Amino acid sequence: MQQVQQAPNDSFAGLSDFALPLMLVAVAGFLVRSLFTKAKVSVQSDAGATFEDVPDTVPGNSEAKQELALLVDFLKNPTPFLELGATVPRRLLLYGPGDKLQMAKAIAGESRVPFLEVISNDSPVHEIFADAQEKAKAPCVLFIALDRRREDEDVGGQLQTAEDADETSELLMSQERLNEVLQATHDFQGSGLIFVVASGRQDVVEKVSRSVDLAVKVGHEEQILVARRLLKANRLEKAVEALHFACRGVTGRSYNRNVSVEMLKSVATDEMKTELMNAQDLLKQHWEKYHDLCIDLPWNGIADRSLRVRQSVACDSCSWCGEDGPGGVVWAAGLALATYVSQNGPPGSSSSESGTSAPWKGVKVLELGSGTGVVGIAAAAAGADVLMTDRSRLVPLAETNITLNQDQIKIGSAVCAAFEWAEVEKPPREVSKQTWDVVLGADLVYTSADVPLFTDTLAFLVGPMGAASGATVIYAHCSRSEALDLDLQAALKVHGFTWRELPNNALPPQAAGEASPWSPSIAGDNVIFWELQGSSERAGRQL
């Protein structure tokens, strides 16, 4: 039986064993590229997409549509604008918690121009934009989403705060890719494309807003709903702030934590006021449990005085979140010096004066490196007029503690000012306008590297040209190492200081509250008190 042999396919005639696979790979690559290219930009019809589809019942939508009306007028009829030489925004940022995609579609629909949405973030940016320009052939809106809400995050359809959006959304592109997009929107300005970029993340909005012509917020938060969600997340201080906004009937960002419930406008319902008072109570309990140190100072000759000192420690529930560093908490030397002040009069006073209710009355005190302010507040409670100084970021904490202890400051006074030691030759007016009797400081050098700045500052302040010329210095030094002690003493000698060690026989304070994360205990066993005099005292100085 004769076998019938099938004739070869002419289409593959002459192809080598290597050429065929190469051709198949090329064809597959072409097909994939064709499919991918078609997926770059989605062109949607403008039919039925108008501002009427953007509900005014959502807070903030009505205001956003009013802001976008001029852009719509230009897209509808650009000639009058161009004849007037107007520059119409072509790069628009939509931000906020509202539906930004819906708003972008409405812009296109109201303007009767095509709407295009970038749905691929992998192709070269210029290639995507060129493809959009080719498809449009006319002015059109090109929408670019920079982030999206994660699918695993459910917020119940509610609008979000900027902080919520940062936590529940993910970026759709890298920072490098975002920079390319922003540059390309500039390169294609004459193309007829109206770029609408959208983000709900505050960090992205801050970056992008510098590169666009117009930024419009879409939607704003219903403050009462935001507050309830924040309370559920234990973000107490933000919740109290949102409840204040809700009770005042505003959506702005002006907030005064000292406004009481009774001072709120009548827009607040009884339920909202109750929620605010409950939230304030929770915040107060949080501060008392995690931030406040209650100190009973043994007062010489009179009843003990109790101070409440708020500390800035790691925390997600309020603004005292530990970003102030070591100066935001109470250290052993600060407690020891506060106790010394409470049991002893100022330099030069008699022992009988120390037993009075205000042994420091009339004494002008400048405190350096106040931190939480425990030393300065103790001096003010003893009758002194105190200026507490530290870096600017620590001033709000000291001011808060002055307010917390105002009932203990009956004769003296305490105020705060920012004072950078590097600018000691040009101190702030609060420092330079006054004549100071005593300079107080506690634990202001931690390593030998800190010694020069501290001693230079001290020498200039109490020197003949300084703001505290001739004042007596009482410094509580924490002896961390013998080398540090020797370095500090040597530097003081170079500047002409003389000193004597004061007896550390003060009763230890009784303190209750969270221990400072910066020191293992509140014991003052390693604290040394020095009374220092500069080389150029004012003659006959009496306190």
- Residue 122 in any domain: the answer is yes
pLDDT of residue 351: 56
d(CA 305, CA 308): 10
* Mean pLDDT, the chain, whole residue set: 79
Residue 25 lies in a domain: no
Together in a domain, 367 and 260 = no
Residue 31 vs residues 28, 38, 119, 161, 439: alpha-carbon distances, Å: 5, 11, 19, 44, 81
Q: How far is the C-alpha of 325 from the C-alpha of 51, rounded, in Å?
A: 50
Is 46 contained in some domain?
A: yes
Residue 514 banded pLDDT, cuts 50, 70, 90: low
Whether residue 418 is found in the same domain as residue 383: yes
Do residues 213 and 239 both lie within one domain? no
**Percentages of the chain per state (helix, strand, coil), in multiples of 5:** 40, 15, 40
| Claim to verify: residue 430 and residue 344 sit in the same structural domain | yes
Structural domain for 408, as ranges: 299-304+314-348+355-510+519-534
Residue 46 and residue 126 share a domain? yes
- Is 9 part of a structural domain of the chain? no
How confident is the model over 355-394, as pLDDT tens digits? Answer: 566 889 999 999 999 999 999 999 999 999 999 999 999 9
Last residue of a domain, one of 160, 184, 217: 217
Structural domain total, the chain: 3
Which pLDDT score, from 0 to 100, does residue 365 have? 97
Q: Which residues pair with 424 in a beta bridge?
A: none
- 543 lies in some domain: no
- 494 and 447: one domain? yes
Maximum average pLDDT range among 156-160, 165-169, 300-304: 300-304
Question: Tens digits of per-residue pLDDT, 216-232?
Answer: 988 876 778 888 888 99
CATH code for the domain in which residue 191 is found: 3.40.50.300
Quick one: pLDDT at residue 384?
96
**Is 234 part of a structural domain of the chain?**
yes
**Same-domain pairing of 418 and 327:** yes
Model pLDDT, residue 506: 53
Single residue among 163, 189, 217 that ends a domain in this structure? 217
Lowest mean pLDDT among 70-74, 163-167, 210-214, 240-244: 163-167
Higher pLDDT, 85 or 439: 439
Segment among 78-92, 406-420, 459-473, 523-537 with least mean pLDDT: 523-537
Residue 52 and residue 192 in one domain: yes
Q: What percentage of the chain carries pLDDT values higher than 90?
A: 32
Q: Please say which residue of 217, 241, 275 terminates a domain.
A: 217
485 and 461 together in one domain = yes
As a whole number of angstroms, the distance between CA 256 and CA 280 comes to 13
pLDDT (tens digit per residue) in 139-160: 788 899 988 764 444 433 444 4
* Predicted pLDDT at 169: 62
Same domain, 235 and 332: no
Q: Check whether residue 343 and residue 278 sit in a common domain.
A: no
207 and 239 co-located in one domain: no
In a domain, 18, yes or no: no
- Number of alpha carbons in the 13 Å side-chain half-sphere of residue 345: 17
Min mean pLDDT across 56-65, 119-128, 279-288, 468-477 is at 119-128
| pLDDT at residue 445 tops 90 | yes
In a domain, 154, yes or no: no
